[in-house]
Structure 1
Amino acid sequence: MSPRQITVLGECVADAFTEPAAASTELALRVLPGGGPANTAVALARLGTPARFLVRLSGDVFGRLFRARLEASGVDLSHAVAAAEPSTLAVAELDAQGQAAFSFHAQNTADWQWTAQELARVDLSKTACVHTGSLALVQQPGAAVVEEFLAAAAPQATISIDPNVRPLLVHPDVYRARLAHWCGLADVLRLSEDDLELLLPGTPPEQACDIWHAAGARLVVITRGAEGALASLDGERLQVPAVPTDVADTVGAGDSFTAGLLHHLGACGLLGGRLTELRLDDVAEACLFAARVAALTCSVAGPNPPWRSRLEQFATADRA
């Protein structure tokens, strides 16, 4: 079955990675197009899911970079807004394990200026799932507009949310204050163990899943890096192992996992409503597929999710 369209709403971010410079008084940066929702849209399109991205794209040098990457990956930009504001920039430093620490330059940038009129024109009749999250849900003035869009979409589309907490830019209290409301809108909640610790410090993952189920989310998936993932469907749980890989860095791995999860569910015809037909075995298969997508993203530098052909080669080699 061919997957139906998934509409992604959110930001593009220019990820600037520090590199050795010629002098100690200089800083060299290598800029790659990123941003959690943008990474997810790219990964979906490369996997073969029709992916439409609702985004406000600046006309600056970074905005042109974003557009080139999205178009080259096959993402539908028919509803992208041409924004007058500048693009969002994040400077990343990688530790020895490839984990990135970001500092953001995001004040009054294009991504957060959504208006109700811009989203009112969006037709969701062909959309099986709407995915959003990260800074788009907490950065004002656009965050309230995004929430209203999700509420309007929820009766006809599966809603997927990835909080992707960025404490250096927005205090975790802002996320905590809205999370129960998001769970009331969401059918799928995917977050990392770092997000969990920021949102519910000291809370065991299983208990956190029960809290978010009680607030309304049917499927909760907590990704745990090399430890794999915990998936919980209405309280039924399973552990999914990580796929071994040589890690270049982990940038975009969670976004790729989300894309793999949604792509697989969509290809199985399980998206498009409240996930009433979803079973734990379906979740297991989707999470294993998502883990392979994330592993391939970790094997290359930056947020560069795999194309479907690369994933098929990886699966063949894994079976050999």
Structure 2
Amino acid sequence: MAQAGSRGSVDVLGECVADIFEDRDRSGAGGLALRALAGGGPANTAVALARLGTPTRFLGRFSEDAFGTLFRTRLSASGVDLTGSVTTSGPSALAVADLDATGQAAYTFYADGAADWHWTAGELTATRNNDAICLHAGSLALIRRPGGSRIEEHLAQVREHATISIDPNVRPLLVPPSAYHERLPHWCAVADILRLSEDDCALLTPGTGLEEACDTWHAAGARLVVITLGGRGALASLDGGRVTVPAPPTVVVDTVGAGDSFTAALLHRLAGLGHLGGRLDELTLEDVADACSFAAQVAALTCSVLGANPPWADGLAIADRR
């Protein structure tokens, strides 16, 4: 296990997605103006981790198209190491966001045949990094075939030397919830940390209380389950011990990327406390509460700006002094 105070490197495996928003200032009777921002749950998590100061390597499959260039530029500018990623001729995935009056986003996805879903066993083997203390994965790359099953096998291998973190990030418009429900026990068997949203839980375990759902996922193998509750904060369960942390007050511009920033900040804090690199054997509920409180603060700052634009460490320090 990493020494207390150490932040070792974290690998993030998954997709990039172009988030497409209407540019209302430029739209009119003559046409609809759109703005493309680099997104995708795993890519957002990698950006947030690197901006917080954790050495981060992103393992992705980039398209050769213009969006692929956008993704690479954003990740590199945030300090993310891309040496484990590959470039391919497949198209980039697109998500058109429709924001309601509260800043909540609903998406229409254009992702069939995207580069992100076609990991080969050889490509994944080449990403192995025995110096990483954690591998975070999830979202569409983990559930879409054919690459998803290969990622599952890869996680089981990497688990020998690293903590495994998974965020299912359920997308029912692209993949039926039943597919996630089928695979989730397999993911819990290799995951040390499972992070979901309250909306994910409603789709995966309809009619089941959050604490009961946590117990089900503990029984399947996940030691730490964290469920984000939007403006109400987060519920965390460590081997059945629970803690709830509030969300700091914030003026919400939109919620895009907030959950990804929460996950990144959680891993960043756990790394700093020396808990990543193994099976969370020394993790206490007090440390979980501390990490989740920090993560809620980072998520709130992400909600205060347009798009998935998580704060940098120096910006977080400024916010602490206000």
Note whether the superposition's TM-score is higher than 0.5. Answer: yes
TM-score (norm 2): 0.97
Structure 1 stretches of at least 4 aligned residues deviating more than 6 Å after TM superposition: none
| Residue type at the aligned position of 1:71 | S
Q: Provide the C-alpha distance between the structure 2 equivalents of 1:68 and 1:157, rounded to a whole number of angstroms.
A: 28
Alignment deviations for residues 269-320 of structure 1 (CA, whole Å, 9 cap, x no partner): 1100000010000101000110111011000000000000011111121xxx
Alignment deviations for residues 190-222 of structure 1 (CA, whole Å, 9 cap, x no partner): 000000000001111111100100110000000
| Residue type at the aligned position of 2:57 | R
Q: Provide the C-alpha distance between the structure 2 equivalents of 1:43 and 1:62, rounded to a whole number of angstroms.
A: 20
Q: Select 1:56's aligned residue among 45, 54, 61.
A: 61
Q: Which residue number in structure 2 is paired with residue 259 of structure 1?
A: 264
Work out whether residues 161 and 277 of structure 2, in 8 Å CA contact, stay in contact via their aligned partners in 1: yes
Work out whether residues 302 and 309 of structure 2, in 8 Å CA contact, stay in contact via their aligned partners in 1: yes
Q: Which residue number in structure 2 is paired with residue 289 of structure 1?
A: 294
Q: Which residue number in structure 2 is paired with residue 35 of structure 1?
A: 40
2:121 matched to 1:119? no
Q: Which residue number in structure 2 is paired with residue 80 of structure 1?
A: 85
Alignment of structure 1 residues 60-139 onto 2, 5 Å: 60-139=65-144
Q: Provide the C-alpha distance between the structure 2 equivalents of 1:192 and 1:23, rounded to a whole number of angstroms.
A: 36
Q: Which residue number in structure 1 is paired with residue 148 of structure 2?
A: 143
Alignment deviations for residues 16-68 of structure 1 (CA, whole Å, 9 cap, x no partner): 01233544463221110000000000000000000000000111110000000
Q: Which residue number in structure 2 is paired with residue 244 of structure 1?
A: 249
Q: Which residue number in structure 1 is paired with residue 220 of structure 2?
A: 215
Q: Provide the C-alpha distance between the structure 2 equivalents of 1:297 and 1:174, rounded to a whole number of angstroms.
A: 30
| Residue type at the aligned position of 1:187 | D
Structure 2: segments with no counterpart, 5+ residues: none
Q: Which residue number in structure 2 is paired with residue 5 of structure 1?
A: 9
Q: Provide the C-alpha distance between the structure 2 equivalents of 1:121 and 1:308, rounded to a whole number of angstroms.
A: 31
Q: Any idea what SS the aligned residue of 2:222 has?
A: coil
Q: Select 1:160's aligned residue among 161, 165, 169.
A: 165
Alignment deviations for residues 102-142 of structure 1 (CA, whole Å, 9 cap, x no partner): 01100111100100000111232110000011101111110
Q: Which residue number in structure 2 is paired with residue 299 of structure 1?
A: 304
Q: Any idea what SS the aligned residue of 1:190 has?
A: strand
Q: Which residue number in structure 2 is paired with residue 16 of structure 1?
A: 20
Q: Any idea what SS the aligned residue of 2:265 has?
A: helix
Q: Any idea what SS the aligned residue of 2:95 has?
A: strand
2:235 matched to 1:235? no
Note the C-alpha offset of 1:154.
1.0
Structure 1: segments with no counterpart, 5+ residues: none
Q: Any idea what SS the aligned residue of 2:15 has?
A: coil
Report % sequence identity: 63
Q: Provide the C-alpha distance between the structure 1 equivalents of 2:56 and 2:31, rounded to a whole number of angstroms.
A: 40
Work out whether residues 196 and 226 of structure 2, in 8 Å CA contact, stay in contact via their aligned partners in 1: yes
Q: Any idea what SS the aligned residue of 1:15 has?
A: strand
Q: Provide the C-alpha distance between the structure 2 equivalents of 1:139 and 1:10, rounded to a whole number of angstroms.
A: 11
Alignment deviations for residues 229-269 of structure 1 (CA, whole Å, 9 cap, x no partner): 00000000011000111110000000000000000000111
Q: How has the CA–CA distance of structure 1 residues 89 and 291 changed in structure 2, closer, same or farther, with 3 Å as cutoff?
A: same
Q: How well do the aligned residues superpose, as a CA RMSD in angstroms?
A: 0.9
Q: Provide the C-alpha distance between the structure 2 equivalents of 1:225 and 1:242, rounded to a whole number of angstroms.
A: 8
Q: Any idea what SS the aligned residue of 1:274 has?
A: coil
Q: Provide the C-alpha distance between the structure 1 equivalents of 2:27 and 2:165, rounded to a whole number of angstroms.
A: 45
